[in-house]
């Protein structure tokens, strides 16, 4: 049986998907990607399934809103790190661990941002760490835009091809889908640990 919080999120998103301003609601949800702890791919899939004729509009809105969210995350990481670093370095991670992460991130910044934005990886970690490590801003924007465009338009295309089967799966497993962000957080920690060991 679907857990109550997940059911509420799924029901709320479903109601907004039927709104005349559904594209604006979707844009708002993706603008808040930095602070929301739900897998937004599932929300986009829901909107596309409910209104398949608008699936490419939704993919475009999600791409642009996600890009703006990524820029906000980058700026947040860039501007706040100097203030919060004394509380993080030495308490949560070592200075050596942080230096190694930034060195590897900077060395492979374009491909790292592209892959991190394309695969089911916590986008918050990609955006915030890009700002913290001060990687180049415009290549960051380009990598995020291309990766998110590919990801969201591929999802819209999948809805076009397998919409009925995907809707049946989403209805049956919506609770698990909404709560899947826990696994994504675990993946993020694993990624940064592996990166630091390289």
- In DSSP notation, 95-157 reads HHHHHHHHHHHHHTHHHHHHHHHHSSS-HHHHHHHHHHTT--HHHHHHHHHHHHHHHHHHHHH
Confidence of residue 29 (pLDDT cuts 50, 70, 90): confident
In this prediction, residue 73 carries a pLDDT of 92
For 194, counting Cβ atoms within 10 Å of its Cβ (0-12 exposed, 13-18 middle, 19+ buried), the class is: exposed
Cβ count within 10 A of residue 30? 26
State the pTM of this model.
Answer: 0.76
Confidence of residue 1 (pLDDT cuts 50, 70, 90): very low
- Is pLDDT of 32 > 90? no
Selection from 17, 6, 13 nearest residue 182 by Cα: 6
- From CA 41, how far away is CA 33, in angstroms rounded? 11
| Contact residues for 131 (Cβ-Cβ < 8 A; gap 6+) | 73, 74, 75, 76, 77, 78, 79, 81
- Is pLDDT of 169 > 50? yes
**Residue bearing the bigger pLDDT, 103 or 181:** 103
Selection from 140, 147, 145, 132 nearest residue 75 by Cα: 132
In this prediction, residue 137 carries a pLDDT of 94
- Is pLDDT of 182 > 60? no
CA-based Rg of the chain, rounded to a whole angstrom?
18
Over residues 21-26, mean pLDDT: 88
Domain ranges of the chain: 4-12+22-197
Residue 94: half-sphere exposure toward Cβ, Cα within 13 Å: 5
Confidence of residue 172 (pLDDT cuts 50, 70, 90): low
Cβ count within 10 A of residue 94? 12
**Residue bearing the bigger pLDDT, 50 or 180:** 50
Note the pLDDT tens digit of each residue in 96-118: 767 777 887 788 888 889 988 98
Note the pLDDT tens digit of each residue in 41-100: 878 888 888 888 899 999 999 999 999 999 999 999 899 887 877 766 766 566 776 777
**Residue bearing the bigger pLDDT, 83 or 183:** 83
Note the pLDDT tens digit of each residue in 129-153: 889 888 999 999 999 999 999 999 9
């Amino acid at each position: 049986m679907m857990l109550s919080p997940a059911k509420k999120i799924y029901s709320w998103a479903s109601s907004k998907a039927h709104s005349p301003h559904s594209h604006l609601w979707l844009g708002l949800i993706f603008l808040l990607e930095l602070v929301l702890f739900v897998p937004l791919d599932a929300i986009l899939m829901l909107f596309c399934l409910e209104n398949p004729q608008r699936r490419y509009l939704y993919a475009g809105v999600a791409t642009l809103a996600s890009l703006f969210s990524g820029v906000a995350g980058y700026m947040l990481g860039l501007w706040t790190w100097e203030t919060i670093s004394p509380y993080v370095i030495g308490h949560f991670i070592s200075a050596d661990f942080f230096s190694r992460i930034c060195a590897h991130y900077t060395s492979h910044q374009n491909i790292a941002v592209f892959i991190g934005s394309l695969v089911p990886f916590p986008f918050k970690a990609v955006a915030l760490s890009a700002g913290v490590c001060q990687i180049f801003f415009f290549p960051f924007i380009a990598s995020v835009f291309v990766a998110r465009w590919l990801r969201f338009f591929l999802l819209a295309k999948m809805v076009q091809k397998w919409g009925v089967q995907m809707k049946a799966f989403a209805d049956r497993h919506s609770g698990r889908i909404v709560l899947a962000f826990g696994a994504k957080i675990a993946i993020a920690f694993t990624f940064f640990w592996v990166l630091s060991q390289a």
